[in-house]
A = this chain, B = another copy of it.
Amino acid sequence: MPFGVSVMILRYALLGLLSDEPASGYDLKKKITDSSILYWSGNNQQVYRTLIQLEQEGLVSHQVFAQEHLPAKKVYSLTEQGLTELKVWIRSTPELPATRTPFLIQLTWAGLLNDEELYRLLEKYEGEVREELAMQQEKARRLGLASQGTSSRSAFLRGKITENVLSFYGNELNWIRRLRRDIDAAGGYQDELRSQAS
């Protein structure tokens, strides 16, 4: 069974979420969408289909709950076997992060733009990163409040994960600011920059 990278991530993310508590496909999809690190594109299909597959493999099981005025729920839980498999994966050799950053590709050929166009491109990117960082900080603040009191090892690790996300955007913001400052220092947006050696 040749599971691709992101399918695998989804599989184990689902097992992980179900190790916290039983949940329906709908719930799980929302949790994934809300998560900063489980980046996903509003796509419930994969969640539903993956759950069915996981059930066939005996890693999860479900119970149907009827509801008044609302569609019935399939509430999934982790099986013993599922927990075992989840642990095996968590212990396995971690992969390096894979980053897709279209902006760096734009920048690679941004030499084709004129000074003003380049200025605006860099400005826009800084703005976006700044906003995203602010959003993540706000999210972290709310999450921090929610987990006050819990001081288990899990809570400690989850705090560190938040820190990772924040430091990623912080690092990116510093980089783009340095870049813009260096360009300014080299005498505005002249076509030739001699500052490269520095």
Q: Chain A 26-41, CB within 8 Å of chain B: the 1/0 string?
A: 0000000000011100
Q: Chain A 116-140, CB within 8 Å of chain B: the 1/0 string?
A: 0110110011001100100000000
Given contacts A94-B106, A106-B94, contact A154 B111 (CB under 8 A): yes
Q: Contact check, B156 vs A196: say whether CB atoms are below 8 A apart.
A: yes
- A171 interfacial by beta-carbon distance below 8 Å: yes
Chain A positions 138-158 with a Cβ under 8 Å from a chain B Cβ: 151-158
On chain B, the residues within 8 Å of A101 by CB distance are: 37, 97-98, 164
- A167 interfacial by beta-carbon distance below 8 Å: yes
Cross-chain contact of A195 among B16, B156, B172 (Cβ < 8 A): B156
Cross-chain contact of A98 among B100, B164, B167 (Cβ < 8 A): B100
Binding site for B on A (CB under 8 A): 5-6, 8-9, 12-13, 16, 19, 37-39, 83, 86-87, 89-113, 117-118, 120-121, 124-125, 128-129, 132, 151-161, 163-164, 167-168, 171-172, 174-175, 179, 182-183, 186, 191-197
Question: Closest approach, in angstroms, between the C-beta of A153 and any C-beta of chain B?
Answer: 5
Given contacts A151-B192, A191-B153, contact A102 B113 (CB under 8 A): no
Q: Contact check, A156 vs B90: say whether CB atoms are below 8 A apart.
A: no
